A and B are shown apart, each in its own frame.
Chain A
Amino acid sequence: MTLHTALREEFTAPRGKFTPAYYRFLGMRDHIRAPLPLLRAYGVEGLFSRSGTHIHKNDLIVGCLRGASYTGPAEVLEHANRFVTSLGKREFWTNDSHFAPDYAYVLTRGLPGLYEDIEKSRAAHADSPDRLQTLEGMSIALQGFGRLIANYAAAAEGLCGLEGYDDHRLVFISQNCRALLRAAPATFAEGLQLVWLCHTAFMLEERGAMALGRMDQYLYPLYAADIAAGRLTDEEAVELLCNTFTKIPTSDVVNICIGGTNADGTTAVNGLSRCILRAVRTCNAPGPNLSARISKETPEDFLLACLESIGTGLGYPALMNDEVNIPALLRMGYEKEDVYNYCMVGCIENFLAGQQPAWSDGRFDVPRFIDYVLNGGISTYNRSVGITRTAAEDISSMKEFMSLLEAELSVGAAEYCASFNAKNGGIRQDALPSPFLSSFCRECVERGLDINNGGTKYPSAHGAVLMGVGTMADSLAAIEKVVFTDRSATLSELRDALAANFEGYDELHRTLLAAPKYGNNDDFVDKYAVWFLDFLAGEFDRFHTPDGGRFYVAMAANVQNIYAGRHIGATPDGRRAGEPLSDAASPTYGRDTRGATSTLLSVSKPDYTKVACGTVINQKFSPSMFEGDKLKKLAALVRTYFARGGQEIQMNATSRETLIDAMEHPEKYPTLVVRVSGFSEYYVRLAREVQLDILSRTQHE
């Protein structure tokens, strides 16, 4: 058994209940009369310094939530929970999770450097009580983090000589942790240890989807120095990375970004990029959500290695096109130097590490607006309401239909933004500081401002996730073809057929299904996908988040297409009521029948430089596509698709037969990992409807 598989067994063994509120409470109680922002900082300090440590027997890199498990009287825990809850907390829509810290800053400065920066800033803001208090909060939180590191060092030392533990590894751990207390990390192992302890601290704070960002860039100087000095081999680096990745909970989505392009246009792929790819492949677990930034300059061997990793069935990495994402982010007004350093948080969402508040998104279900246009503004399916007052009988051209639809979408987008802003801006930003997160952002420290109170270089961004481009394009093409071109049905007949969920309208249903479908390189229908993105990106572009940031659009679904579909009646593309919408930015599964090249020609038509948040294109290939000579053809497919303006592609490589067998005999496939959407997951743990959705994806070759 290898070290990381032994570690996985330890890691997945039953554990106590995670009770972070108790330790927050302990920290707060000692300073119960402190002003609210500082009280919260003391809560973080207590959480870090007083929750216990846990070192696995097979650990090389430490950091685990298992110590934060309170087993005392239930009444005490209840009181702690009640008190901590009463102070309120940030949530997803108020910028709490989905964040990538600026680890380059943290690694360069080290813990002592971070203290120093805070002290310098305190001196500079001596005349501003608010800023001084914010900086004091950061300092308190950081001291708690320092104690967490010291606790791990002491714990490792205390375990030496105990049965089942390896003293060499414990000494290694202790030395790394002690070194971090004294200075900035000087080796790859120290750097990785610091990053993982930071991440552990964020998990203790209960933040989800915290990204590790561009590990192959910010850890590279330490890696390269170790390699050059002969202190480290690639095998050892992979071992350390595996030891770290194994500890990522499978319930989390921790994005790691490798590869990419430097601002001078050269490739950023290096030896560490390859080590990380190998480590993720070796771990073969859903936890580390790997993304690879690809450009024209990406070396062929690296792209092939990415595809090989995908071909194991793991589905990692997702491939991101730098030549689209970089222009898309430049359009947002970010500076070039920052843009070239972008990474992803969560599944695929583009992010500037440490330079913007935590990210959020929400679903914008586009196909429901067709319902309003056809039914005079009130859905017959779920009685939801739009603005159309024209009867279907009075809509006499496609042009007229589109202008009514655009009016609906325009108001719908405005409603969406108003709701979000009310929620996001409805809290007092200064009353809910994030002192620990802020201490990791250079600008927050310099300005003495919290991350959500103007501290970051750029304001927040909120992603409106546009659902159902395939359903929309197919529906509009069907209306144009069947109603306004062939005139084989009237718009009111279509409306009635949809209301009846096609019961009694078999002939019309067949006609609608026979209309051109998105994903076959047919401009008749593809033009509506182009319109979809142009129009909606333009609409959301008009709004700002409460802190002056931007609304931008995403085309990703994360299986939400299934749940969105449940609330939407039958659509003119022939989809029946309640069925899933098309997934992410992909065509409706099974309707792109002309092969992968045609699918990708269609899908690369919309202008994704308007999608600063990110897109997902799910494609399924038979496992044989990832073997021998065909792998190179797949690489050429990706390169051509990217050259034509595709933004993203992620692939599934598990055969249909295996998926069906795994549904029938889940016990045979406990470790089968498949690409779901912006992430991978153990197949047997997925809900049946999600399993079926993956099964239904068009399989190429």
Chain B
Amino acid sequence: MDANIANIQHFSVGDGDGIRTTLFFKGCNLRCPWCHNPETLSAAPVTLAYPHGAQDCGRRIPEAEILAELMEDADFYRESGGGVTFSGGEVLLQAQAAQSLAARLKAAGISLFVDTAGCAPFSAIEALLPYADTWLFDYKTASPQKFREVIGGDLALVEENLQRLLARGAKVRIRIPLIPGFNTHAEDVALICSRLKEFGITEVDLLPFHRLGSGKYEALGLVYAYRDTPPQMPEEKARLRALYETHFTVTMES
């Protein structure tokens, strides 16, 4: 079976254990305005027109070809305790293709992490459940209104999926992007914390805002809403960290 893939990134060391290869599925059903991978949003192929040349993004790749590329780094996974990460876009939108790949990886003894926003029918999650060692589950806001109006999704579905995932005993790491003005006010944070605690969450990963994707928006002929938003200063990161630390064990990307 083919999968619609935006990119395969070797030597991913930012997310998850060990040295990983990240498979970016193309197409997403949310539209977070801060997204740093805008080329993965549409399911259709896009062209990034950089000043030094154009770069096409998105093609359907046969499963065997994907698998062969993922297996290239198997020695590195073994030595480092790493593996493969499914990300996107939204992997759950290609659950069938993802499931088939996941099964092959499992058979080869490769660790699999699934990075998702969780906004899809639970059946899609269930398809990957037997194969995913860890779920990197985004939690962006506890406000259903913001989730609907800014991101364009249904928070209730996300939360229901999260609870069901937890109930099935899955290993879940909650990841919270720290988006200036969107979820960084003390009230936003308080709401997120109380909600996550209701779900029994004890640890969270905090992902500070960055605008490294800015160039991609330009290359796509789009305007990046966060183009002029500076990355958080150390004091701001420390403030947010402290807020979350009163409730959770916190890991924060540097």
Contacts and interface: CB of A to CB of B under 8 A. Distances in A.
Given A633-B13, A633-B19, A701-B11, A597 B254 contact: no
B72 interface: yes
A658 B194 CA distance: 42
B245 interface: no
Residue among A596, A624, A633, A700 with the highest chain B CB neighbour number at 10 A: A633
Interface residues of B, number: 19
B80 A636 contact: yes
A173 B250 CA distance: 54
B14 interface: yes
B10 A633 contact: no
A595 B80 contact: no
Interface string A631-650: 01100110110011000000
A643 B75 contact: yes
Residue among A594, A601, A636, A643 with the highest chain B CB neighbour number at 10 A: A636
A636 B72 contact: no
Residue among B9, B12, B78, B80 with the highest chain A CB neighbour number at 10 A: B80
B213 interface: no
B75 A644 contact: yes
Interface string A252-295: 00000000000000000000000000000000000000000000
Given A624-B254, A636-B18, A637-B19, A595 B72 contact: no
B79 A597 contact: no
Interface string B1-25: 0000000011111100011010000
B58 interface: no
B254 A598 contact: no
A597 B19 contact: yes
A601 B75 CA distance: 10
B11 A597 contact: yes
Contacts of B72: 521, 597-598, 601
Contacts of A701: 11, 13-14
B76 interface: yes
A594 B80 CA distance: 19
B10 A597 contact: yes
A637 B254 contact: no
Interface in A60-89: none
A120 B228 CA distance: 82
B10 A594 contact: yes
Contacts of A630: 13
Residue among B12, B13, B19, B75 with the highest chain A CB neighbour number at 10 A: B13
B52 to A, nearest CB: 11
A636 B79 contact: yes
A594 B7 CA distance: 11
Interface string A518-559: 000100000000000000000000000000000000000000
B11 A639 contact: no
Residue among B9, B75, B81 with the highest chain A CB neighbour number at 10 A: B75
B79 A643 contact: yes
B57 to A, nearest CB: 14
Interface in B1-60: 9-14, 18-19, 21
A469 to B, nearest CB: 21
B75 A632 contact: no
Given A624-B254, A628-B254, A633-B82, A595 B75 contact: no
B130 to A, nearest CB: 27
Contacts of A628: 254
B254 A595 contact: no
Interface string A587-619: 000000011111001000000000000000000
B73 interface: yes
Given A628-B254, A633-B19, A640 B13 contact: no
A323 to B, nearest CB: 14
Interface in B60-119: 72-73, 75-76, 78-82
A598 B81 CA distance: 18
Contacts of B78: 640
Nearest to B10: A595
B79 A640 contact: yes
A508 interface: no
A640 B11 contact: no
A104 interface: no
A576 to B, nearest CB: 15
Nearest to A630: B13
A521 B13 CA distance: 19
A116 interface: no
Interface in A356-401: none
Contact of A597 (B14, B73, B81): B73
B19 A598 contact: no
A43 B13 CA distance: 60
B254 A627 contact: yes
Contacts of A639: 79
A701 B19 CA distance: 11
A36 interface: no
Contacts of B12: 595
Given A597-B72, A627-B254, A643-B75, A637 B80 contact: yes
A122 B12 CA distance: 66
A595 B9 contact: yes
B111 to A, nearest CB: 13
Nearest to B73: A597
A627 B252 CA distance: 13
A595 B76 CA distance: 12
B13 A597 contact: no
B232 to A, nearest CB: 16
Contacts of A644: 75
A330 interface: no
A639 B75 CA distance: 10
A630 B12 CA distance: 10
Contacts of B254: 624, 627-628
Nearest to A600: B76
A597 B19 CA distance: 9
A637 B76 CA distance: 6
Contacts of B82: 633, 636
A32 interface: no
Contacts of A632: 80
- The 3 A-B residue pairs with the shortest CB-CB distance, nearest first, are A636-B80, A595-B11, A595-B10
8 contacts: A596-B11, A597-B72, A601-B73, A625-B13, A633-B13, A637-B11, A637-B80, A701-B13
Interface of B: 9-14, 18-19, 21, 72-73, 75-76, 78-82, 254
Given A597-B73, A636-B76, A637-B79, 19 more contacts: A595-B10, A595-B12, A596-B10, A596-B11, A597-B10, A598-B10, A601-B72, A601-B73, A624-B254, A625-B13, A633-B13, A633-B18, A633-B80, A633-B82, A636-B80, A640-B75, A640-B78, A700-B11, A701-B11
